[in-house]
Structures are given as structure tokens and as C-alpha cells.
Amino acid sequence: MTSLDVIGRSHREAPVLRYDPNRDELAALLDGEPRYRVDQVWAGIHERGEEIDDLTNLPKALRARLTDELPLALTPEVESISDDGATVKWLWRLHDGHKIETVLMHYDDRTTVCVSSQAGCAMACGFCATGQSGFDRHLSVGEIVEQIVRARRQSAPRRVSNIVFMGMGEPFANYDRTWAAVERINKDLGIGARHITISTVGVVPGIERLAEEDLPVNLAVSLHVANDRDRDELVPLNKRYPLDRLHEACRRYLDAKNRRLSFEWALIDGVNDRDSDVDELADYARSLRAHINLIPLNPTPGYLTRGTPLDRVYAFRDALNDRGANATVRRTRGTEIDAACGQLRASRQLVDPPKRR
């Protein structure tokens, strides 16, 4: 039996990646070593985010073995810097060739990492670059956690303070691995639950499970439309979990957690920026005391309708605030380098088309 078999996977299946094992699994992998090695390795790669070779408290042979048996998950395909260094975006290649994105964003008062939870996405929202190209597979815990470790290294000496699950994929379609990653991010990478936000398109069972968890993370729901007829069109999952069920789940989460809920609303010209949208959204959000993030739509190759012009974005915000809803405008980062919302991968695929499966 090799040490990899101990944690329940064979060489033929997906490899065990550096941040996949939990502490017990790492201990099994280090069976035969002194007990304190587990703490040394665990703290070294998580709390300090070091490369195995820099763990100089380990014997050289053990470092070589760990480097070999616990390979890194992410190979940089593109690393692009924009906004005068305030935004760094990676397109990573995974061991099986799939691509995912991670973004590091520095603001005056915080530094945020936006992570992916899946390669691709099955939710098929028409305006979203990831949705347009379909689902590849779930990410493992290690593939999620490593995105943050790698971004944190780049960010130093600025500390990463916030994590948002707003990269590729639907986190609640990959609930167990996403949640295991959240716990690791909180306990071992030291980022407070109140600084972690999970964004969902409205997977009601996921919201219900979140309400039962111990860690009070923030919930963001990608609403985009607040009537069922139009939302069925724009966000196909609405047919399965319509707005009244979504409302109930959000209410349950609020009652359980007493955390602020936010709604994301990508403003699309003539589609969801009408007077009727203001009324519907204000009613829906007010009844849940939700904060509304308005995002001017980022253009994507597969969706030709343009974003709402900026002056109307601000007018839409003002109209919501006049109706007693709490709305702000979020300007997207990295648009000049195709770095918003899955575009890096989408634009690379135009150059280098993927093989059809």
C-alpha cells in the first residue's frame, strides 16, 4: 500500500493535491514520521503559506517526498495585472487541462480574493461567460484552497482580508467541497467568517444548509430579475426554485444567522433596468432588508445585449434608494484586460478552441 492509498484514492483517479488532505489525512500520509511533523507541515503550508522546499524544519528527504506526493493543483496559464497593480487575475490550468480563474483585488480598506468553485458552470445564465461555455467539473477542496494560498503569496505584504465565492461555478452545486474549503479558509488560513461571502444563483437547498452551519458567512444571491416570468428566461434555475421559495430560504437564513443578505443585479439595457424592475426589486429586497449590489453588465462574447449606460445605472440606484431599498453600484475590476467574470478563459478559447467532448 502506498501512502496515497491511505487517504482513499488510487493513482488512476484524480491525484491527491497539496491542499486536498485534511489534518487527519495528512497524518495518515506522514505515518511513520514523528507526530510533530504533522503540525509542522500543516502550519507551514496553511498558516504561513510556504512552499514545501521552504519548510526548512523538515529533513530534506521528507521535503522531496512531500513535493512529489502532494503536487500543487494550479499551473498559471495567464497572470495579468491591471488597474495600476490593484487587480491581479490568474487563468490556471488544472491537472486534467480544465481552466479556472482567480482574482486578487486591492482596495483602500481591504484586499479581496475572488475564487472559483467549479471548472465551468451548469447554471446556464445567458449573460455570464462561464455559463455560456457549460460545465466541466467540480473543484476539489484543495483546488479551491490553493487559489487563496497562491493569491495570498502574490498579495504580500498586503494581507488578504476577504474571500468571495464569485469566480467560476455555482458554489452550492458543489456544496460539500465548498464548505470544507470555507472551514479551512477560516480555521487554517485565518480569515474570519464575516469576511467570507458565498454567492449563489439561488440554489435553495444550499441556502437552507448554510443557515444550519456554525460559521456565520455572508450570503449573496444573484437575483438580476424579481419577477418569475423574466427570471425564468435570464436565470434558468428560477424554474426549479422560483422567487417565493428563494424568498423563504433567504428569510430562514436571516433568522438563523442575523447576517446581512445582499442581492446582485447585473444591469442589462432594456432587460432589467425598467421602472417595473425598480418596483419589483425594491419590494423584494426591502422585505428581507437586503443590500443591493448593482453591477453594470460586463460584455461577454455570447450575449449581445449591452449593459445599462452608467448614467442610467446611477439613476436606477437612486430610484431604489428613494423607495427605501439600500443599493450601491459596484464597478468591476480588470475589464480592460478581459479579466471580468470568466472573460479571460472565454477570450483564450477564441484563440485556442477547446476540443469538443
Question: Distances in Å between the alpha carbon of 318 and those of 162, 267, 322?
Answer: 28, 14, 6
Does 298 bind ligand SAH (CB under 6 A)? Our answer is: yes
Q: How far apart are CA 219 and CA 206, in angstroms?
A: 11
In the range 326-355, which residues lie near ligand SAH by CB under 6 A? Answer: 341
Residue span binding ligand SAH (CB under 6 A) among the ranges 36-44, 55-63, 225-233, 290-298: 290-298
Q: How far apart are CA 99 and CA 137, in angstroms?
A: 10
Q: Shortest gap between Cβ of 28 and ligand SAH (angstroms)?
A: 34
Q: Shortest gap between Cβ of 84 and ligand SAH (angstroms)?
A: 22
Q: Looking at 121, 125, 250, 341, which residue is catalytic?
A: 341
Residue 120 gets the label, from left (phi > 0), alpha (psi -120 to 50) or beta, of left
Does 128 bind ligand SAH (CB under 6 A)? Our answer is: yes
C-alpha cell at 267: 444591469
Of 101, 124, 102, 125, nearest to 113 by C-alpha is: 102
Does 199 bind ligand SAH (CB under 6 A)? Our answer is: yes
Q: Shortest gap between Cβ of 30 and ligand SAH (angstroms)?
A: 36
Q: Shortest gap between Cβ of 71 and ligand SAH (angstroms)?
A: 27
- Residue 274 C-beta-side C-alpha neighbours within 13 Å: 10
Residue span binding ligand SAH (CB under 6 A) among the ranges 196-204, 243-251, 283-291, 344-352: 196-204
Of 147, 195, 191, nearest to 169 by C-alpha is: 147
Written as one letter, the residue type at 72 is L
Does 132 bind ligand SAH (CB under 6 A)? Our answer is: no
The only residue of 132, 186, 197, 200 in contact with ligand SAH, by rule CB under 6 A? 200
Does 170 bind ligand SAH (CB under 6 A)? Our answer is: yes
Does 147 bind ligand SAH (CB under 6 A)? Our answer is: no
In the range 243-282, which residues lie near ligand SAH by CB under 6 A? Answer: 264, 266
Over the window 38 to 67, marking each residue x when it contacts ligand SAH by CB under 6 A and - when it does not, the resulting string is ------------------------------
Contacts with ligand SAH: how many residues (CB under 6 A)?
Answer: 16
Residue 134's CB: how many other CB atoms inside 10 A?
A: 12
Q: How far apart are CA 147 and CA 113, in angstroms?
A: 9
| β-strand partners of 90 | 79, 102
Q: How far apart are CA 262 and CA 260, in angstroms?
A: 7
Q: How far apart are CA 236 and CA 39, in angstroms?
A: 46
- Whether 101 is a known active-site residue: answer yes
C-alpha cell at 304: 449581445
Does 222 bind ligand SAH (CB under 6 A)? Our answer is: yes
Q: Shortest gap between Cβ of 212 and ligand SAH (angstroms)?
A: 20
Does 133 bind ligand SAH (CB under 6 A)? Our answer is: no
Does 201 bind ligand SAH (CB under 6 A)? Our answer is: yes
Residue span binding ligand SAH (CB under 6 A) among the ranges 15-23, 63-71, 174-182, 197-205: 197-205
Of 120, 140, 139, nearest to 346 by C-alpha is: 120
Q: Looking at 101, 170, 264, 280, which residue is catalytic?
A: 101
What H or E segment, with its residue span, contains residue 135? strand 135-138
Residue 305: alpha-carbon gap to chain centroid: 25
Question: Which of 66, 222 has the CB closer to ligand SAH?
Answer: 222
Does 203 bind ligand SAH (CB under 6 A)? Our answer is: no
User: 3-class DSSP state for residue 78?
Assistant: strand
Q: How far apart are CA 136 and CA 152, in angstroms?
A: 26
Does 178 bind ligand SAH (CB under 6 A)? Our answer is: no
**Residues acting as catalytic residues:** 101, 341
The site for ligand SAH (CB under 6 A) is made up of 123, 127-128, 166, 170, 199-201, 222, 264, 266, 295, 297-298, 300, 341
